[in-house]
Structure 1
Amino acid sequence: MEGIVLAIQEQRLRPGSKLPSIRKFAQNHRVSLFTVAEAYDRLVARGCLNAVPNAGFYVRGHVTEDVSGEQAAPEFDFDAHLLLHKVFQPLGMELRPGIGLLPEDWLDSEGLLRGLRSLAREEPTQFGNYGQSKGNPRLRGKLADRLADAGVAATPEQVLLTSGASQALDLAVRYFVQRGDPVFVDEPGYTHLFLNLRLQGARLLGVPRSADGLDLERLEELAREHRPKVFFIQARLQSPTGTSLPLATCHRLLQLAEKYDFLIVENDIYADLDTSGQLLLANLDQLARVIYIGSLSKIIAPALRVGFIAAHPELIKELVPLKIVSGLTSSELTETLALDILLQGRQRKHVRQLRERLSEAHETVARRLEAAGLELFHEPRAGLFLWARHRAVADSTQLAKQAKEAKILLFPGQLFMPDGRNVPWTRFNVAHSLDEQLYTFLARLNER
């Protein structure tokens, strides 16, 4: 393969040139027919060769060499579409303190490898169909058990598996929201949700988050005036502020939901990172007025894409057709892999170690940010995020632009505001904010 690629790059083999047949190549070089066939097939897959039926293999064109070394950072703006279109690309940044993922070496890679080995031993015929519309029954049962352990009485029939929590939110948005509908959201809150709601034509009503929870007075004012049908909320370890709702606030929120007749979609994707054992909105409500969304991707591996909705049985029945229309079924392969990882018995220990590691990172990063002249909105000491502002910076987008020049990707506050307005706050992921390069940049900023 390397020899043929080099010959194409050096134009000793030009586009359209025919390669020797598999049999002839094997005879000339005294190698197995299977070896040559495998090499040719891989070169076809890489786009180096074309396989012409009954004619042979032909050079497709010039092979682009891998570019190593330093590359210029691509151009991008700090707007909501950054998080939608480019956040999962490297973007030429050496450090990304605001990203919403755990570092790769913080994930349970050994558990994932064991699960993949176990999956490889399964009969291929097991995955010959699309799978069940609600998702893998055994995994739904396991998740129902986990909800029961958290005090939420749910049967497997009340659990709908999805392709990550993002699809779960999308199903909820499409089911509950029509064009022009007023919708409650956290302010600041989850950017991808805001984009989804805007595409659906919703009017976003931001309910301010405070260091100790939620502005309930503002919530009731908006409820009285606009009568929204639904509130999309992260009750604990919220992105971007890291705040969690106190128990009294949860009780009052459910009272207001009853009084003004709106439903609550509780996005609880960071539940495994919570060290407090706090009661959930779903726990207090028992899935009567609350629709609960969870995820396995955040802790196991982001690429796994396994999320779920737990709700009243009648609502689950109505969500299933929406799921089928948008993507038939969720992936039986990834659901089987996720189930195997949960059944290995490693997850409890991994989660406990991860919580301890994040707690230590919170303490380190909080003190370093304060020493660099930043004010903290709240200190959760758990989860991924700190929400902070520099006392000398009124618009965090300007701070992010300066950081970009130093190849540091900060996520400014405007990305998390329902109306997109500029604010002084910036989101920091403590697991990605331990690099000295970040604090060198902040020290130079202070000097300027």
Structure 2
Amino acid sequence: MISLQPDSATPLVRQVFDALAALIDKGSLRPGTRLPSVRGLAREQGISTMTVTHAYQRLVAEAYVEARRGSGYYVATPTKAQPRHRPFVGRTQVDSLWLIQRVFEDDSALLNAGCGWLPPDWLHLEGVRQALASLARKSASGLAHYGTAHGYLPLRQQIQTQLAARGVQASPHQLVLTHGATQALALLGRCLLQPRDTVLVDSPGATNFFAALRAMDLRLIGVERRLDGPDVQALATLAQRHRPKAFFTTTTLHNPTGSQCSPAVAAQVLKLAEQHDFHVVENEVMAGLEPPGAVNLAAMAPLGRVSYVGSFSKTITPSLRVGFAAVSEELAEKLVYQKMLGSLTSSELNEKLVYTVLVDGHFRSHLARLGERLAQAQRQVCDGLEAAGMELFTRPQGGPFVWAGLGRDGVDVQAVAQRAVAEGLMLAPGNLFRPDLKPTPWLRFNVAYAHDARLYRFLSQEVKRASRPPTR
């Protein structure tokens, strides 16, 4: 009935959805036709029943299919009141607000080439299912508590062990569990900074975090990112001129460039932090996927000068929203106070689920497979982007992100992204990743989604457009 490409970077869920949707759109599958059973299609295609289930559920959500209890899935009769596609076309304005709102939406009508998440079938969903089943068999009383202010102690102890393996020394009392890394970063911002303070950030960097800092009435100044980490000469000049209170940075698998901080640059960053008395916040949400030899600032300096932020969204699943901050004991108490003021405790149920996944014997093998899959996707997408004429900032050693440019300053990448929307492609224009929003010819790509001939054809046309002499 359908043909899948297991080696493609396009997720299998999307391949199944697209193939069946195309058959329905062409009339090959007429209204009322019963689709193959979940087990039958999974057996026929050699894929998991979970993959087929997710694809069928998406077809139901898009009004292609209706589920009949005890009978199966049937092609639905289309109605004018139920449009099947919801692409972001027409007057959509691709700006920073648009990116913040759309970057986590998995809309099947778009190829999300610039998104910030991994496909569901790349994540450790089977581990989560097993953890859910395990917790469900235990006493229900454990599901009825708010939890503790610092977070679930066994998980903090497990994080302590993982951090020690990276050279970061933190006791359980120095670990505060949060509602994802986003909350951890926001709490650190509130505890370390006051309105109108100056804070340094990577440029380019995480656009949604920039918006959060601006909402605190902070003054953001970007430190240019180089292949080996932050530009330490620029950092020294900015620290001397602006006397910042903090520097938020990422050392490994940087978002959006995919670059790594070298040991020499890391040492210089810490030296400047000591010399100019600013706090360093190390945002390491890709921990567990870093290549061999990766450095951590928190392993090179005590928790006091450096605070470390981590998450499990990229290695387990973002739906659990469990992150953490490793900080000094004094700062931990401040974080807990701010956390309780803003949201009370974090979800102990989610924290128990993450703990159960981490201590399961299959998590290490999942990380290894995920790392290999990302490395393969990096090679495919980097080759495809270069073949299309794009300039690579670097060939990342892992992680989901690639930073690639159209090769000439002055290219309006927002206009490029706007044209891409009309072609069913979601791109992430590089100016949105700069704290000053200055124009740049660069874009972020997610290798888990970007290996697609439609994207490469579009980019090849845009490279040719950019190479034309400007009209006068």
User: What TM-score, normalized to structure 2?
Assistant: 0.79
2:168 corresponds to which of 126, 133, 152: 152
Per-residue CA shift, 1:238-260, capped at 9, x if unaligned?
A: 11111111000000110000000
Task: Give the corresponding residue for 1:270.
Answer: 286
Structure 1 unaligned residues grouped into runs of 5+? 1-63
Structure 2 Cα separation of the partners of residues 437 and 445 of structure 1: 13
Structure 2 unaligned residues grouped into runs of 5+? 1-78, 466-472
Task: Give the corresponding residue for 1:164.
Answer: 180
Per-residue CA shift, 1:29-57, capped at 9, x if unaligned?
A: xxxxxxxxxxxxxxxxxxxxxxxxxxxxx
Change in Cα spacing, 1:110 to 1:315, as seen in structure 2 (3 Å) is same
8 Å contact kept, 2:414–2:429: yes
Aligned: 1:282 with 2:298: yes
Aligned: 1:104 with 2:117: no
| CA-CA distance at 1:381 after TM superposition | 2.4
Task: Give the corresponding residue for 2:459.
Answer: 442
Change in Cα spacing, 1:353 to 1:92, as seen in structure 2 (3 Å) is closer
Aligned: 1:81 with 2:97: yes
Change in Cα spacing, 1:224 to 1:102, as seen in structure 2 (3 Å) is same
2:307 corresponds to which of 270, 275, 291: 291
8 Å contact kept, 1:266–1:293: yes
| CA-CA distance at 1:424 after TM superposition | 0.4
Describe the SS at the equivalent of 1:373: coil
| CA-CA distance at 1:427 after TM superposition | 0.2
8 Å contact kept, 1:389–1:396: no
Aligned: 1:420 with 2:440: no
Task: Give the corresponding residue for 1:69.
Answer: 84
1:333 corresponds to which of 349, 352, 364: 349
Change in Cα spacing, 1:379 to 1:154, as seen in structure 2 (3 Å) is same
Structure 2 Cα separation of the partners of residues 347 and 261 of structure 1: 39
User: What TM-score, normalized to structure 1?
Assistant: 0.83
| CA-CA distance at 1:118 after TM superposition | 1.2
8 Å contact kept, 2:406–2:463: no
Larger Cα Rg: Structure 1 or Structure 2?
Answer: 1
Describe the SS at the equivalent of 2:281: strand
Change in Cα spacing, 1:72 to 1:217, as seen in structure 2 (3 Å) is closer
Aligned: 1:398 with 2:406: no
Q: CA RMSD, aligned part only?
A: 1.7
Per-residue CA shift, 1:104-130, capped at 9, x if unaligned?
A: 111112111111111222322212221
Task: Give the corresponding residue for 1:193.
Answer: 209
| CA-CA distance at 1:211 after TM superposition | 1.8
Mapping 1:8-407, distance limit 5 Å? 67=82, 69-73=84-88, 75-90=91-106, 93-391=109-407, 394-407=411-424
Structure 1 Cα separation of the partners of residues 423 and 322 of structure 2: 35
Per-residue CA shift, 1:320-354, capped at 9, x if unaligned?
A: 11000010000011001111111111111111111
| CA-CA distance at 1:68 after TM superposition | 5.3
8 Å contact kept, 1:363–1:381: no
Structure 2 Cα separation of the partners of residues 123 and 149 of structure 1: 33
Task: Give the corresponding residue for 1:60.
Answer: none
Percent same amino acid at aligned positions?
42
| CA-CA distance at 1:310 after TM superposition | 0.4
Change in Cα spacing, 1:376 to 1:447, as seen in structure 2 (3 Å) is closer
Describe the SS at the equivalent of 2:288: helix
| CA-CA distance at 1:212 after TM superposition | 2.3
Structure 2 Cα separation of the partners of residues 319 and 211 of structure 1: 33
